[in-house]
Structure 1
Amino acid sequence: MTTVKLPDGPTTPAFLQGLEVMAGRTRAWRRLHDRYGSAFTFYLPRFGRMVVLSDPAEVKALFTASTDIADNVDVNLGQFLGPGSLFALKGAEHRKHRKLLTPPFHGRRLAVYEGLIEQETVHELATWPQGREFATMDSMMRITLNVILRAVFGAEGKEFDELRELLPKLVLVGSALAAVPVPRKFLGRFGPWARFAAHRRHYDEIVGRLIDRAAADQERLADRDDVLAMMLQSRYDDGTAMTRSEIADELLALLTAGHETTATTLAWTIERLRRHPDVLRRLVAEVDAGDSALREATLLEVQRVRPVVDATARQIRAESLELGRWTLPKGQNVLVSIRLMHENEELFPNARAFDPDRFVGVRPGTFSWIPFGGGARRCIGAAFATMEMNVVLRTLLRDFTLEPTTAPDERTHFRGVALVPAKKGRAVVRRRSPRPTVAAEAAAGQVTA
């Protein structure tokens, strides 16, 4: 018999432990880390007894374990996104789907979307008020939603407008249900689950129309760049195609993973830069010079100090798993604290400070910088999201002056899945004067002479 060995943890009643996290996630994780160290056992609503890890070696061992040994927890976003989504699938089925969906989000495919992202950013930023404070997160939501609808769904016209109105409602209700568990039959056909089901039926109907239209125009299908078109043409190793329900579930998962989280990181970026004028000044100079190293480092650092998702989870599938100091039994849920990993002083000296220079010319560690999770279940759209944030920030700094502030840091608000700025990343901007072209500067010099 294998002897189970779990980390220590609080002995208070389970519901009180759950209340502590609900009252303040970051504060709770930090307090428990200070008392018990880099591993502790804690009770979370819906998940039960969790082993919480933030030791780099133990986290790496968990992330690199085979999915036959440690895979996704049973309670996951698949209940909202559908059984055919990457969030719900496990083991061989997850690997099969992931292999099919990886190509559109890597390599040269990403360059196809850069112009689209800049176009949507310019269009949205044109609506920004100048000289008065406003919240930026709703704008970022619109940018990332429009990008996803065009790049992933290939939506246009009526379907584009319908999805743009529907999807924020669907995500909002789903996030609320994920945060506060509500029985499915609560309030019957008038309750939140009924609203979610109605939104999902409407979504499936719209996607069905998009699939029908694409399938009926085979000649143009091969020339399209959107992910839906690629899904319709792709085949598994055995030659079979994705089913309609699989396509609908995966498209919804890609929307959820690539819309709210990316927009929230951009809102946090504005919140951080306004409070660090030296970094902001250097970023503007870099944009004007056509460089990008500091901008890329800044986005890495924002995701380190303000992770939008602060944890990722696994469940032990083997009879037991030796993980560093611990021996975990089958069925044990394990939570990797992204927040505590990112605040590890050994990995990131002066970890609470916002310091983009720590990443200039330095690639972050695969198993220490983990805003996209890690291992076989790392976010499939990480490269796409990184490119999108880079283009949006570059366009913003090129076209607008972002005014610094001495206001206190915006607090973190937990919205069911994402940790968002409580005041939605407030900003004051002014449009920059267009920089003269090289030809115009040369002509001006000749006239002066």
Structure 2
Amino acid sequence: MTTATLPPGPSAPRFVQGAYTLLVSRRGMRRMRERYGDAFTVNLPIFGHAVVISAPDEIRQLFMTGDDVASNLGRNLGRVLGPGSLFALSGEEHRKQRKLLIPPFHGRRLTAYERIVEEEAEREMARWPQDREFPTLPSTMRITLNIILRAVFGAEGAEFGELRDLLPRMVTLGSRIAVVPLPTVAWGKWTPWGRFWSMRREYDAIVERLITQAEGDPGLDERNDILATMVQSRYDDGSRMSHSEIADELLTLLSAGHETTATTLAWAIERLRRHPAVLKELADEVDAGGGELREAAILEVQRTRPVVDFVGRQVRADSLTLGRWTVPKGHAVLVSISLIHDDPAVFPDAGVFDPSRFLGTKPDLYKWIPFGGGTRRCLGAAFATMEMSVVLRTLLRDFELLPTDEPDERWHSRGIAYAPGRGGRALVRRRTVQAPHAVASAATGAGS
């Protein structure tokens, strides 16, 4: 047996560490790094014994480790998204499912979704009040929900209204119960878990109707939506995805492609209003038809305000060696995204919001990790990046976003995601005159 070599960490009982993590998660992680270094061992209710790492070399090792040594965390969002979700799958099953889902998020199909993004942004922003501050998170939630519904299911239909009503409630509740232990007794309708599973049954019934409609659609080959791709896709042995697998994966895409992107957009507005020089440069760039600084700003928002704080793996082999540490079987290894993003040894002047650090360069995907990494990196990363770029372009093209000298909005936990505490408040005025490049961009959907 290999001798375990674990970093130091707190010795308090598991429930005390769990309560501390829930109450002061981000501050608690920083305090433990200050006390124990860039790696430490914790004992948490959901994950059990876990090693938290934040050194780039050790993160690289973890992300490059094969599934036979360290695979998917045993307790994750798959508990609420379903056994057919990518979050729940490991090893060969995960590889096969991921292979089927890659095509809709790249190349020609990704470009085809840009017009949907712009249309939904324009539709929602037309309702924005002028010269009166308001929280943008509810708006960005509606924008991203409508975008992902259209991208997933294609044209509008009766089921869309049902899903628009159901999914926000379902995602909000699911993200909260996903971070607490599941009960071992029967779930009544008066419990959060009972309410969630009732909503899940409603969701399954709606999606079953949509799958059946797609299977009978004579024009299925001409559709670009993700449901059409799933219905037509085949595994290497020629078999189809089951209806339950499709339902689980669609819920995964709807959830992951909705809340996290909407929250990042709200953080982007919060950050830009507090950095007027960057805001002006971005507006000038949109008028000139450019996008390089906007792409860099999105990267910097995700670095300074990552909406998810942890990604991780579970040790399946007898042990896993990560740099200085030997982690035994059964332990979780958690990568703290905020700790590496805030590390001045990794990002000089890490506390400064500075999009120029990403101009002319691509981020190192073992240091900048808001989408996770390795074989479990977020499948929709390119889609989300395009979506954020087009929404911000539309905002800056059509509105003047006014800066503020108010303090930074605090971090607010929504269960899985961290959102701006006041909802990413904005103060806007509609622009009456637009530059020619901005008008041309709006007409063609280009320049994102």
Cα deviation, residue 172, structure 1: 1.3
3-state DSSP class of the match of 2:327?
strand
Q: Match of 2:445? A: none
The aligned residue for residue 418 of structure 1 is 417
Structure 2 counterparts to residues 357-436 of structure 1, below 5 A:
357-435=356-434
Alignment correspondent of 1:310: 309
Cα shift readout 1:295-343 (whole Å, capped 9, x = no counterpart): 0000000000000001101001111111100111111111000011111
Counterpart of 1:303 in 2: which secondary structure?
helix
CA–CA distance in structure 1, aligned partners of residues 168 and 155 of structure 2:
16
Post-superposition shift, 1:30?
0.6
Q: Is the 8 A contact 2:257 2:380 kept in 1?
A: yes
Q: Report the CA distance between 1:184 and its aligned residue.
A: 5.5
Q: SS of the residue aligned with 1:370?
A: coil
Which secondary structure does the structure 1 equivalent of 2:6 belong to? Answer: coil
1:69 CA drift (Å): 1.0
- Give the corresponding residue for 2:221: 222
Distance 1:96 1:161 in 2: 32
2:24 equivalent in structure 1: 24
What's the secondary structure of 1:222's corresponding residue? helix
Distance in 1 of aligned mates of 2:189 and 2:356: 53
| 8 Å CA contact 1:179, 1:415 repeated in 2 | no
In structure 2, what is the Cα distance between the partners aligned to 1:163 and 1:303? 28
In structure 2, the CA distance between the partners of 1:289 and 1:164, relative to structure 1 (3 Å rule), is: same
CA distance in 2, matches of 1:38, 1:437: 50
Go from structure 1 to structure 2 and tell me whether the alpha carbon gap of 1:228 and 1:12 turns closer, same or farther (over 3 Å shift): same
Q: CA deviation at 1:70?
A: 0.8
| Amino acid in structure 2 at the alignment position of 1:250 | E
| Contact residue 287 and residue 435 of structure 2 kept, 8 A | no
Distance 2:145 2:316 in 1: 36
- What is the Cα deviation at residue 186 of structure 1? 6.4
Deviates more, 1:101-110 or 1:362-371: 101-110
Q: Larger C-alpha radius of gyration, 1 or 2?
A: 1
Deviation track 1:400-424 (CA, whole Å, cap 9, x = no partner) reads: 0011001100000111100011101
> Deviation of residue 133 (structure 1)?
0.6
Counterpart of 1:283 in structure 2 is: 282
C-alpha distance in 1 between matches for 2:155 and 2:23: 40
Q: Residue 442 of structure 2 aligns with which residue?
A: none
Q: Comparing 298-307 with 6-15, which one deviates more in the overlay?
A: 6-15
Report if the CA contact (8 A) 2:397-2:434 is conserved: no
Q: Do 2:311 and 2:336's aligned partners in 1 also have CA atoms closer than 8 Å?
A: yes
Aligned pairs for 1:240-255 within 5 A: 240-255=239-254
Separation in structure 2 between the aligned mates of residue 178 and residue 203 of structure 1, nearest angstrom: 18
Compute the displacement of 1:152 (Å).
1.1
The 10-residue stretch of structure 1 (320-329 or 282-291) with the greater mean CA deviation from structure 2:
320-329
- Aligned partner of 1:85 in structure 2 is 85
The SS at the match of 2:412 is strand
Residue type of the alignment partner of 1:253: T
Unaligned regions of 5+ residues in structure 1, if any? 441-449
Corresponding residue number in structure 2 for 1:211: 211
CA offsets per residue over residues 95-154 of structure 1, 9 Å max, x none?
000011011111222101000100000000000000001000000000000001010122
**Identity within the alignment, %:** 61
**2:163 maps to amino acid:** L
Q: CA RMSD in A?
A: 1.3
Cα pair 2:79 2:178 within 8 Å, conserved: no
How far off its partner does 1:387 sit? Answer: 0.3
Secondary structure (helix, strand or coil) at the match of 1:295 reads helix
1:444 match: none
Partner of 2:151 in structure 1?
151
SS at match of 1:253: helix
The 1-side partners of 2:322 and 2:406 are apart by 44
Q: Is the 8 A contact 1:76 1:87 kept in 2?
A: yes
CA distance in 2, matches of 1:12, 1:104: 47
1:179 shift after superposition: 3.2
Structure 2 distance, partners of 1:304, 1:362, is: 15
User: Which one-letter code corresponds to 1:229 in the other structure?
Assistant: A
Residues 436 and 426 (structure 1), Cα distance of their counterparts in 2 relative to 1, 3 Å cut:
closer
Distance in structure 2 (CA, Å) of the matches to 1:234 and 1:2: 44
The amino acid of 1:361's aligned partner reads G
CA drift of 1:256 comes to: 1.1
Q: Secondary structure at the match of 2:222?
A: coil
Q: 1:69 to 1:149 in 2, by over 3 A?
A: same
Q: Secondary structure at the match of 1:188?
A: coil
Partner of 1:70: 70
- 1:286 shift after superposition: 0.2
User: 3-state SS of the aligned residue for 2:219?
Assistant: helix
- Aligned partners of 1:174 and 1:196 also within 8 Å: yes
- 1:342 maps onto 2:369 in alignment: no
Aligned counterparts of 1:233 and 1:46: Cα–Cα separation in 2 = 37
The residue aligned with 1:447 is none
Report the residue type matching 2:25 in the other structure: R
> CA 1:437 to 1:265, structure 2 compared with 1: closer, same or farther past 3 Å?
closer
Q: Distance in 2 between matches of 1:114 and 1:197?
A: 34
Residue 334 of structure 1 aligns to a residue whose secondary structure is strand
Change (3 A) 1:437 1:304: closer
Cα deviation, residue 191, structure 1: 1.5
Structure 1 pair 186/277, CA: closer, same or farther in 2 (3 Å)?
A: farther
- The separation in 1 between residues aligned to 2:155 and 2:67, in whole angstroms, is 35
Deviations 1:378-397 (A, max 9, x none): 00000000000000000000
Q: Distance in 2 between matches of 1:156 and 1:429?
A: 30
1:163 paired with 2:163, answer yes
- TM-score where L is the length of structure 2: 0.96
What is the match of residue 128 of structure 1? 128
Contact 1:149–1:155 at 8 Å: present in 2 too?
Answer: no
In the TM superposition, residue 45 of structure 1 has moved relative to its aligned partner by: 2.0
Confirm or deny: 8 A CA contact 1:293 1:360 kept in the other structure. yes
Written as runs of structure 1 = structure 2, the 5 A alignment for 1:173-212 is: 173-181=173-181, 183=183, 185=185, 188-212=188-212
Q: Residue 161 of structure 2 aligns to which amino acid in structure 1?
A: D
Corresponding letter in the other structure for 1:275? R
CA distance in 1: counterparts of 2:287 and 2:185, whole angstroms = 57
**Which string of whole-angstrom CA distances, capped at 9 and with x for unpartnered residues, describes residues 226-275 of structure 1?**
00000011100000010000000000001111100000000000000000
TM-score (norm 1): 0.95
Letter in structure 2 aligned against 1:110:
L
| Greater Cα shift, 1-10 or 171-180 | 171-180
